[in-house]
Amino acid sequence: MASGLQLSREELLVAYRRMRTIRDFEDKVHEEFSAGNIPGFVHLYAGEEASAVGFCMHLDDRDAIASTHRGHGHSIAKGCDVEGMMHEIFGRKDGLCGGKGGSMHIADLSKGMLGANGIVGAGAPLICGAALTAKTLGTGGVAVCFVGDGGSNQGTTLESYNLAKVWNLPAIFVVEDNGYAESTASAWSVGGSQVGRGKGFGLATHEVDGFDFFAVFDTAAEAIELARSGGGPSLVHMKLARHYGHFEGDAMTYRAADEVAALKAESDPLTIFRQRVTETAILNGADLDEIDGAVQTEIDRCVANAKDAAMPTESDLLTDVYVSY
């Protein structure tokens, strides 16, 4: 498979647009949540865009992903309808999940997006199941579990490494280590190392700079190729960081005073992407500026429409508990 820097101009524009969409989506949700316009619990993915997009650029609708409570980025990267997502986060009837799921449960199975998940570590077993489906039905699909450093300590995740190995599943576990499980540092909470854990279960392992789209893209290519060819599961330790708190409203007093500012200045995946593609003259700044403007307009439109959209009504309360009952 081609290295990320050999991607076509069109593919690079798609990748950048997706990352920019995630960033603007999250920045806008932050703004609207702060203004009191969004109910419930919201966890933002800004700063981690290269991970979701670098992986999902390799996936299509036969492939499945499971996400976390921090799921907006994975959903956008996997092709969920962005406006439907925004309506969902605002609790609207025409949201992607009819307003029944909200930020923590955004899903679209037709896109292979098995859901953001309110239970930390719950996605890994589900991905074993999706991978089993692909293997049993011979679809050629793979299944990717995004799990945080916090979720990496759940028994479900570790059991799933083992099950994926003994069933030789086309599964990939992407441990997005943003440095903190809620307010607790992964440096403290993770015994051993992520890669060491993967090796312990016999998985192919990688450690990758999650700020660098191209590094992610190349690593993902390798892990996905292994899975598609029947070579079994991989673990990718993705080192990255989030721009916002664990949840919206988190004062982040556990972080160093200058940490987020330094992160934005030195390790922003969008800035790094821009530098790489303009330095190598594959794209020019104007190409990217044009996307920036278009995405901003698009996200503003999604928010405006979401605010105007109808709420669900009492007649929606008891629908879709069962297929039949």
Partner 1 sequence: MSKKSYRQAIAEALTQEMRRDPRVVIMGEDIAGGLGAPGEDDAWGGPLGVTKGLMAEFGRERVLDTPISESAFVGAAAGAAATGLRPVAELMFVDFMGVCFDQIFNQAAKFRYMFGGKAVTPMVVRTMYGAGFRAASQHSQCLYPLFTHIPGLKVALPSNAYEAKGLLTQAIRDDDPVIFFEHKAMYDMEMEVPDEPYAIAFGEANVTREGDDVTIIAFGRMVNLANEAADNLAKNGVTCTVVDPRTTSPLDRETILETAEETGRVVVVDEAHPRCSMASDIAGLVAEEAFGALKAPIKLVTAPHAPVPFSPALEDIYIPSVAKIEAAVTEIVEYGEKAAAE
Residues that bind partner 1 (CB under 8 A): 64, 66, 95-101, 105, 107-110, 112, 114-115, 117-119, 122, 124-130, 132-134, 136-137, 143, 155-156, 159-160, 162-163, 166-167, 319-325
DSSP state of 145: E
Residue 37 Cβ, how far from partner 1 at the closest point, in Å? 21
Identify which of residues 145 and 226 has a Cβ nearer to partner 1 in the complex: 145
Other Cβ atoms within 10 Å of 51 Cβ, number: 29
Which residues touch 185 (CB under 8 Å, ≥6 apart)? Answer: 179, 254
Identify which of residues 80 and 270 has a Cβ nearer to partner 1 in the complex: 80
Angle among Cα 100, 104, 109 to the nearest 5 degrees reads 70
Residue 312 Cβ, how far from partner 1 at the closest point, in Å? 10
Residue position matching structure tokens 């990718």: 236
Residue 319 Cβ, how far from partner 1 at the closest point, in Å? 7
Give dist(CA 50, CA 116) in Å, integer.
Answer: 18
Residue 139 Cβ, how far from partner 1 at the closest point, in Å? 8
Produce one character per residue of 66-77: b if its CB has 16 or more CB atoms within 10 Å, e if not: bbbbbbbbbbbb
**Greatest Cα-to-Cα distance within the chain, rounded to the nearest angstrom:** 60
Residue 93 Cβ, how far from partner 1 at the closest point, in Å? 9
Sign of CA dihedral 125, 130, 131, 132: positive
Identify which of residues 20 and 92 has a Cβ nearer to partner 1 in the complex: 92
Identify which of residues 115 and 232 has a Cβ nearer to partner 1 in the complex: 115
Identify which of residues 52 and 124 has a Cβ nearer to partner 1 in the complex: 124
**Strand partners for 65:** 113, 144
